[in-house]
Amino acid sequence: MLDCHHMPRPLTLPRLDGTLASYTLSGRAPVTAPPGPITGRIGMAAVHVVADPRARINPTLDVAVDWEATLAYRRYLWGLGLAVAEAMDTAQRGMGLPWTSARELIERSVAEAEGVGGAMLASGAGTDHLEPGPRVTLADVEAAYEEQCAWIEGCGGRLILMASRALAACAKSPDDYVKVYGRILSQVREPVIIHWLGEMFDPALAGYWGSADRERQTETLLAIVGEYAAKIDGVKISLLDQRREIAMRRRFPASVRMYTGDDFDYPTTIRGDGERHSDALLGIFDVIAPAAAAALKALDRGDLATYERVLAPTLTLSRHVFGDPTRFYKTGVVFAAYLNGHQSHFRMVGGLESARSVVHLSEQFRLMDAAGLLADPELAAARMRRVLAVAGIE
């Protein structure tokens, strides 16, 4: 418990019904993780970027990144024993961060990782510099993937093959996906992670793998995994569908990992079912990093009670942060970093800080408090007051 003499005074927070109510912090001590590596699972956080709020740009059209704060957050995650998934949708790929900025982000992060012992990093390769349109062909999509993969490998980075809006727009059948992915996988230097991002995260990816039917989609991806297993480290499934994830991983070759992307149900899939388990590649790990590291290290020790106890309250938080419309979860990720002092401001690339209401953010504050995820409650309370004041709540 926190010293009652240092407890912040109560805040006035809007509730989910829009009414205002006094809120007193729980006094729960912040969750901390013991030192050392994580060995039994790969715990990969898909991480955000820190915008530069002082740059003289039009923030809805242009991008300016605070590189030091961005890289400092990656060092923080590596220090906890977590791995980093760079330039993914959490970093606002497809929602404000263009490939030109992502290239620099990847190059800087790979260089940073080289100076950190044991740091694990993989980076997103997609086709987001290729604008979908009626004249775009499969060959164009292949060339776009090849360009980004070559850049990342040229920097010394590992690959995460992101889903392609351009491919979703021009593919006519499952065979087109098999063709494109087969061509890219046949060229990669090291095994990659394939990312299946569902339409709840990006509506432009509806019908991915050449069908609107989940069973047909699943079979197409499983066919690719079976044929190119030697070139695939694992598959990240972001469908918020625990049963499908478990069913799919049972059919993977033994060498292929399942990386859960299920921000609604990750404790169960990571723990495993006695036969197989999921590793993790999660945007929520950016928000709950100390709890994620503490839980995974408890799992390494065989301490299931601590694993469950630490993660249980984070699940309620995650379901809120990733609530509908799910694609705006990035706002909650950056909000958490602001509350916890990892950046000095609550501004985002593309002005996306406005994508969630103050009611939503206030509920996130309560849930972070309940989960022990306010590293410095006094600082967090002061920063919450600033956000409230902007919304006219004093």
Which CATH number is 274's domain given? 3.20.20.70
Q: Does residue 5 carry a pLDDT above 70?
A: no
Closest C-alpha among 340, 355, 350, 359 to residue 287 = 340
Q: Does residue 4 carry a pLDDT above 60?
A: no
Average pLDDT on 279-283 reads 98
Which residue is associated with the tokens 């899939």?
Answer: 269
Q: Which pair of structure tokens corresponds to residue 192?
A: 């990659």
Mean pLDDT of the chain: 96
Average pLDDT on 171-182 reads 98
Contact 237, 261 (CB under 8 A): yes
State pLDDT tens for residues 202-212: 999 999 999 99
Q: Does residue 226 carry a pLDDT above 90?
A: yes
Residue-level pLDDT at 362: 98
Q: Which pair of structure tokens corresponds to residue 147?
A: 């360009």
State pLDDT tens for residues 113-130: 999 999 999 999 999 999
Helix (H, G, I), strand (E, B) or coil at 330: helix
Domain of residue 188 covers 4-390
Cα(288)–Cα(391) distance, integer angstroms: 26
Q: Environment class of residue 271 by beta-carbon count within 10 Å: exposed (0-12), middle (13-18) or buried (19+)?
A: middle
Q: Does residue 198 carry a pLDDT above 70?
A: yes
Residue-level pLDDT at 1: 52
Radius of gyration of the chain (CA): 21
Residue-level pLDDT at 194: 98
State pLDDT tens for residues 347-374: 999 999 999 999 999 999 999 999 999 9
Residue-level pLDDT at 316: 98
State pLDDT tens for residues 32-42: 999 999 999 99
Q: Does residue 287 carry a pLDDT above 80?
A: yes
**Torsion, Cα of 284, 290, 294, 297 (10° steps):** 80
- pLDDT tier for residue 303 given thresholds of 50, 70 and 90: very high
Eight-class DSSP state of 238: E
Q: Does residue 221 carry a pLDDT above 90?
A: yes
Query: What's the maximum distance between 2 C-alpha atoms anywhere in the chain?
Result: 66
- pLDDT tier for residue 70 given thresholds of 50, 70 and 90: very high
Q: Which pair of structure tokens corresponds to residue 5?
A: 């003499």
Closest C-alpha among 126, 62, 103, 113 to residue 83 = 113
Q: What are phi and psi of 28, to 5 degrees?
A: -70, 135
Q: Environment class of residue 359 by beta-carbon count within 10 Å: exposed (0-12), middle (13-18) or buried (19+)?
A: middle
Cα(375)–Cα(240) distance, integer angstroms: 28
Q: How many domains does the chain have?
A: 1
Eight-class DSSP state of 97: B
* DSSP characters over 50-92: -B-TTS-S-TTT---B-HHHHHHHHHHHHHHT-EEEESSGGGT
Helix (H, G, I), strand (E, B) or coil at 369: helix
Residue-level pLDDT at 373: 98
State pLDDT tens for residues 326-354: 999 999 999 999 999 999 999 999 999 99
Residue-level pLDDT at 6: 66
Residue-level pLDDT at 378: 97
Q: Does residue 2 carry a pLDDT above 60?
A: no
Residue-level pLDDT at 118: 92
Cα(29)–Cα(166) distance, integer angstroms: 47
Residue-level pLDDT at 107: 98
Average pLDDT on 72-90 reads 98
Residue-level pLDDT at 7: 72
Cα(95)–Cα(51) distance, integer angstroms: 13
Contact 368, 338 (CB under 8 A): no
Lowest mean pLDDT among 8-22, 83-97, 173-187, 355-369: 8-22
- pLDDT tier for residue 16 given thresholds of 50, 70 and 90: confident
